[in-house]
Amino acid sequence: AQTVTQSQPEMSVQEAETVTLSCTYDTSESDYYLFWYKQPPSRQMILVIRQEAYKQQNATENRFSVNFQKAAKSFSLKISDSQLGDAAMYFCAYRRNNAGNMLTFGGGTRLMVKP
Amino acid sequence: NAGVTQTPKFRILKIGQSMTLQCTQDMNHNYMYWYRQDPGMGLKLIYYSVGAGITDKGEVPNGYNVSRSTTEDFPLRLELAAPSQTSVYFCASSYAGGSYEQYFGPGTRLTVT
């Protein structure tokens, strides 16, 4: 079974600075996808960024980028120029490319942004 | 598009009661999912469906049942509610396969006392 681990229950960053959230996963598959979801206090799950395992290039979405290390099974999220609206729970998720395509989530990291 | 809608938003059940959580999507997605999120935890898959008439168990299916008679609807049934089922329940949907994003509903907060 796949497992996803987020070792940082809470992180704090100063507004306008950069923060990195860690995620590791365990799988024997070679074809899979990784995601970072944001969950603000509203509870809505919002996709931040996704990475295909077969792509070596790290995904980037505006201020959000990932460091994908396939051999190390590591998938960290970097948030640049942090904004107050970035404060939320962040979940790393894994999806094997097969029928069902369900997500396996990590336990989450609560990000606080200080003004 | 309304996306994924869930009803109700909140519900309090007594131990032993039953209820159905409703989920509807208007994006013509084949795949639909039910997750639960316990306090301070990530989401865990309860059941999923790859199309009308096809359902399968996820990681934590005990105490729940689902059906999928149409592409749009994927209700989750709780039989004989227990305190351990106190959680926030999320429905999600996606196109089949690949890196397609799962779209989540707003969640239902359920308390069993």
Residue A2 forms contact with B (CB below 8 Å): no
Tokens in use for A8? 């940082």
Interface test with A, best of B54, B99, B109 (most A CBs within 10 A): B99
Q: Which of A112, A20, A29, A30 lies closest to A75, judged by CA?
A: A20
Pairwise CB contact (< 8 Å): A50 & B41:
no
Q: Per-residue pLDDT tens for A46-77?
A: 999 999 998 889 999 999 999 999 999 999 99
Is the backbone peptide bond immediately before A40 cis, with ω within 30 degrees of 0? no
Are the beta carbons of B99 and A50 separated by less than 8 Å?
yes
> For residue B90, which residues of chain A lie inside 8 Å, CB to CB?
45
Residue B96: pLDDT over 80: no
**Which residues, 6+ apart, have CB-to-CB distance to B36 below 8 Å?**
B43, B44, B46, B60, B85, B87, B88, B89, B90
Question: Which residue of chain B comes nearest to A5, CA vs CA?
Answer: B42
Look up residue B72 and give its DSSP letter.
S
Interface test with B, best of A101, A104, A110 (most B CBs within 10 A): A101
pLDDT 10s digits, B28-75:
999 999 999 998 889 999 999 999 999 999 999 999 999 999 999 999
Residue A59 DSSP label? P
| Alpha carbon separation from A102 to A105, B31, B39, B88, B105 (Å, rounded) | 10, 9, 21, 18, 15
Cβ–Cβ gap B102/A97 under 8 Å: no
Whether residue A100 and residue B102 make contact (CB cut-off 8 A), yes or no, is: no
Minimum CA–CA partner of A106 in chain B: B42
What is the DSSP code (8-state) at residue B83?
A: G
Distance (Å, rounded) from C-alpha B23 to C-alpha A60?
Answer: 32
CB B76 within 8 Å of CB B34: yes
Residues paired with A20 in a beta bridge = A78
- With 90 as the cut, is the pLDDT of residue B25 above it? yes
**How does residue A101 score in pLDDT terms, banded at 50, 70 and 90?**
confident
